[in-house]
Chain A
């Protein structure tokens, strides 16, 4: 792939970007959703990620590394969001408590719903490497590079993430139901 900006014909660059958006925006949205726990915020994050990616498209050297590259941009954008976030204060009576809210939403019903609720309860430290592995399809070494931690730490975190998830699920199951744990 050519990397110099001037050597890319404008239409070729646009076609490359279109292909990236169409093939990876769904995966990125899901990743952003579980990172931020908010659909609207996830939409904004993905859009901003691709706008930054468009400006830096020439730094993408291999198409096969596009997903990892975009996830790096998205994580930075997410971190930036919290750097400039101003705390919002609301009356305690007006607060939409996630557990109460989730109980009434169809996407939080059934077995997959229980897992979704459990994922949202996981500490981000455990949730993120698990997301990268399950949603992103990354190996422990790739996750380690992205999160800037050792592969051993990644293994520990995904191990604990699964254990915690299964423990939360076992606790959330209605009385009499049994969750089969490996």
Chain B
């Protein structure tokens, strides 16, 4: 290999062996060029190492588990009861640690952990929402339209139904926290999120978003839906 071929190979792949390595040992000028090329390659590699979103692997595994569960619908009824029981155990187990935190703090903390669902925009079916509420013995008669995500999630020491409603001004998170009925309806701002908590039936409805423009409308439709729902003991 001559110097010209060596310099060409430097721009193709500076990490090869064979003739390339032999020429490097024999030619001091090409060895210098190789050292500079390796420095550039290191900088290039570091530059390409962009930060990976936190919890990327967990969000993928959650999406896979959710889809898998949806694909196994015949087994769903038994699985949801197991999930509900597991969440109840989890809620009791970790509840004492989280008990003292106010609901806005817990709701925003939960939202941050599951921020990846805010990007979902594809509408989901009414049945998925009915099934999520049914997990906790709540039979919805009317399902408000427009949700793109639903899941049953532990929130503090309680369990909740977690929904996302995409709006033009940005997604709004709707959390119905079961068996945690607050005395007063209140608006709040927490960590840059606008929030509203509304005591409703046996729980509290929490709305969170970067824009509160749709809070009134969402409060109305979800209040109507939950007031007409049947709550099993």
Residues of A whose CB lies within 8 Å of any CB of B are: 17-18, 21-22, 25-26, 29-30, 33-34, 39-40, 43-44, 46-47, 50-51, 54, 107, 111-113, 115-116, 119, 131, 133-135, 139-140, 155, 158-159, 162-163, 165-166, 180-182
Contact = CB atoms under 8 A, between A and B. Distances in A.
Interface residues of B, number: 36
Nearest to A165: B44
Contact of A159 (B11, B33, B68, B116): B11
Given A25-B52, A29-B56, A182 B46 contact: no
A33 B13 contact: no
Contact of A50 (B49, B51, B64, B68): B64
Name the residue among B33, B47, B61, B64 with the largest chain A CB count within 10 angstroms. Answer: B47
Given A40-B119, A44-B119, A21 B47 contact: no
A182 B36 contact: yes
Given A26-B56, A112-B43, A135-B48, A51 B12 contact: no
12 contacts: A29-B52, A30-B50, A43-B53, A43-B59, A50-B63, A51-B63, A107-B51, A111-B43, A115-B43, A158-B13, A180-B40, A182-B37
Contacts of A159: 8, 11-12
A177 to B, nearest CB: 14
B26 interface: no
Contact of B47 (A39, A112, A162): A112
Interface in B1-52: 7-8, 10-14, 33-34, 36-37, 39-41, 43-52
Given A119-B47, A119-B48, A135-B48, A182 B10 contact: yes
Contact of A134 (B12, B44, B67, B119): B44
A180 B60 contact: no
A7 to B, nearest CB: 19
A43 B8 contact: no
Nearest to B118: A40
B233 interface: no
Contacts of B64: 17, 21, 50-51, 54
